[in-house]
Structure 1
Amino acid sequence: MCGAVVPVVTSGTVRGWALELPGAHEEETWGAATFRVGAKIFAVLRAEDGTASVKANPADQAELIAGDPATYAVASHVGRFGWVRVTLSSADPVELRSVVLEAWRRTAPKRLQLALPDDLRALLPRR
């Protein structure tokens, strides 16, 4: 009997998701890849330990951690602002892509948000 293959999220997956967003670019900071819109960071990738930190608000942070404490945790240094640390190997790809998109939306100016393609807009959580 064969089980369903669950896709594993890798650092390359997260990098691709981040860089496909309007106005996003990658910058090396603190020995990690940071993903930004302008000078503002919306995600940090630590490929060497298989984690990412993603911008969220405190309510979303609490919901993510409560829903999957093996994957999500309060991020160090910026967790008090709602950021979450994500263990990539156990992350659900659909959920994490939505979390990355929402982090970008929290960071991007309105003019860039309007440039988001419809297929990506459909992946954003409803507000």
Structure 2
Amino acid sequence: MGRPRSLKLPNLAKLRRFCSSLPETSEKEAWGHPTFRAGAKMFASFGEYEEEATIGVKRSLDQQAQHLQDSRFYAPPYSGKQGWIGIRLSQVPWPEVEALVLDAYRQVALKRMLKALDSLE
């Protein structure tokens, strides 16, 4: 089975551009999907869920519980147990997606990365 068609959509290009603007990030394929890391820690992934383009982001369990009250978000298989949420890209405006990705980055980034990020803003 090949990559989902949604991986070729502009959403992935936008996610790549945004993540590459953050200090010390890299992209690594994992489980057949592009994932984005701050140093060694993953904070976002791009994929497809129920034939829809999605981005997964790291959240705290409390944050996850709040997001799951909104049908635009879901608990991804496997990573949902660790607080991750899936963002249904057809339903969430891009500025909100970027804010969630940035918050996920901040949750896993080292202090030096956060200092570098703050100097960019």
Fold shared per TM-score above 0.5: yes
> Alignment partner of 1:116: what SS?
helix
1:55 corresponds to which residue?
Answer: 58
Pick the aligned partner of 1:64 from 50, 54, 67: 67
One-letter amino acid matched to 1:18: C
> Alignment partner of 1:89: what SS?
coil
Cα distance in structure 1, aligned partners of 2:119 and 2:66: 26
Within 5 A, what are the aligned runs for 1:18-97? 18-46=19-47, 49-66=52-69, 68-69=70-71, 71-97=72-98
Shift in Å at residue 50 of structure 1?
A: 0.8
Given that 1:17 and 1:97 are in contact with CA atoms closer than 8 Å, whether structure 2 keeps it comes out as: yes
Length-normalised TM-score, structure 1 = 0.77
> Alignment partner of 2:68: what SS?
helix
Length-normalised TM-score, structure 2 = 0.81
Cα distance in structure 2, aligned partners of 1:27 and 1:43: 11
Q: How many residues are aligned here?
A: 110
Cα distance in structure 1, aligned partners of 2:15 and 2:68: 19
Identity, % of aligned pairs? 34
Structure 1 residues not aligned, in runs of 5+: 1-8, 121-127
CA-to-aligned-CA distance 1:30-77 (integer Å, 9 cap, x gap): 1100101122110111168411111011111122222x31x2111210
Of structures 1 and 2, the one scoring higher in RCO (CA 8 A, sep 6+) is 1
One-letter amino acid matched to 1:31: G
Structure 2 residues not aligned, in runs of 5+: 1-9
